[in-house]
A = this chain, B = another copy of it.
Amino acid sequence: MLKDFSRPDDGLNKDERKAAKKEYQKQLVSLLQPLKEAKIPVIILVEGWASSGKGSLINELISEIDPRFCSVFSLDKALYDCDRYPFIYPFFKAIPEAGKMLFMDSGWLMRAVNEDIAGKYDKKTRAARIQSIRLFERQLKNNGYLVIKFFVNCSRKTQLETQERLLADKNTEWRVTRADILQNDNYKNYQDAFDSWMESTKGTGWHILDGDNRGTVSYDAFKIIADTLSRAIADGKYDAPEYEESFSPSDPLPSLDKCDLSVCIDDTTYKKELKKLQKEISELHDIIYRKKIPVVICYEGWDAAGKGGNIRRLAKPLDPRGFDTYPIASPEPHEKARHHLWRFWTKIPRSGHVAIFDRTWYGRVMVERIEGFCSENEWRRCYNEINEFEKELSDWGAVIIKFWIHIDKDTQLARFNDRQNTPEKQWKITDEDWRNREKWPQYEQAVSDMLKKTSTEFAPWHIIESVDKKYARIKALRIVRDALKRASKDD
Contacts and interface: CB of A to CB of B under 8 A. Distances in A.
B58 A174 contact: no
Contacts of A311: 67
A486 interface: no
Contacts of A71: 324-325
A282 to B, nearest CB: 9
Contact of A171 (B175, B290, B358): B290
A491 to B, nearest CB: 16
Interface in A58-87: 58-60, 62-68, 71-72, 74, 76-77, 80-81
Contacts of A105: 320-321
Given A67-B308, A72-B320, A424 B315 contact: no
Contact of A320 (B66, B103, B308): B103
B80 A286 contact: no
Contact of A427 (B33, B76, B174, B356): B33
B318 A59 contact: yes
A327 B67 contact: yes
A147 to B, nearest CB: 18
B68 A321 contact: no
A153 to B, nearest CB: 20
A325 B427 contact: no
Contact of A316 (B33, B59, B312): B59
A445 interface: no
A312 B286 CA distance: 51
Copies, count: 2
A104 to B, nearest CB: 9
A93 B138 CA distance: 34
Interface string A320-350: 1100111101001110000000000000000
A316 B58 CA distance: 9
Contacts of A301: none
Interface in A74-113: 74, 76-77, 80-81, 103, 105
Contacts of A68: 327, 329, 358
26 contacts: A30-B424, A33-B426, A58-B320, A59-B318, A63-B312, A63-B316, A66-B327, A67-B311, A67-B325, A67-B327, A67-B358, A68-B329, A68-B358, A71-B324, A71-B325, A74-B321, A76-B321, A80-B81, A105-B321, A171-B283, A171-B286, A171-B290, A174-B286, A174-B290, A175-B286, A332-B332
Top 9 nearest A-B pairs (CB, nearest first) are: A67-B325, A33-B427, A74-B321, A171-B286, A72-B320, A68-B327, A81-B81, A30-B424, A67-B327
